[in-house]
Structure 1
Amino acid sequence: MSWTSILAIYFLFWVASAFVLLPFGVKTHEELGIERVPGQADSAPANFRPLRIVVGATLLSAALTALYVANYVNGWITTDDLLALY
């Protein structure tokens, strides 16, 4: 597998990981007891921290990419194994 393929797979895992991690740890103004801005949605986050999402997505996608490449090299789960499930 070429390094460009690994980089592309890492990027795909990173984007998916970022979307998965977005709702964790976010609280609304009501949950934190902070006054809302007039016209603000009730569900708007009060403590959104994008750096935390970026770091978490980077670590999670690195682990998932490492597992993917290890599976590719060692052949732990093949397409034949997946087709045998059906």
Structure 2
Amino acid sequence: MARISVRIAPLHLDRTQCTHAVRPSGKPRDPDSGCTGRGSYAVLCSDCGQVGEPHQLRALAEPAQSAHRDGHKATLPYTAR
């Protein structure tokens, strides 16, 4: 069985992934980078893709991340060792 990862990814306002350096306010550190700043956060699963709708704050995305990860754990078959 493949390992599944569930992570939180920052998104630009147009919902593309943001990999730029940003200030705590979400605005880009380098104004010439072409980054529009971070607008939301998405929960991404390596198996399911994007989970639900993007959240405005990272703190709001964390419970969705945990719930989705726990959902995968609940569907794993039990293996005795």
TM-score (norm 1): 0.32
Q: Which is helix-richer, 1 or 2?
A: 1
- Of the two structures, which has the highest relative contact order with CA contacts closer than 8 Å and spacing of 6 or more? 1
Q: Which is strand-richer, 1 or 2?
A: 2
TM-score (norm 2): 0.33
* Structure with larger Rg: 1
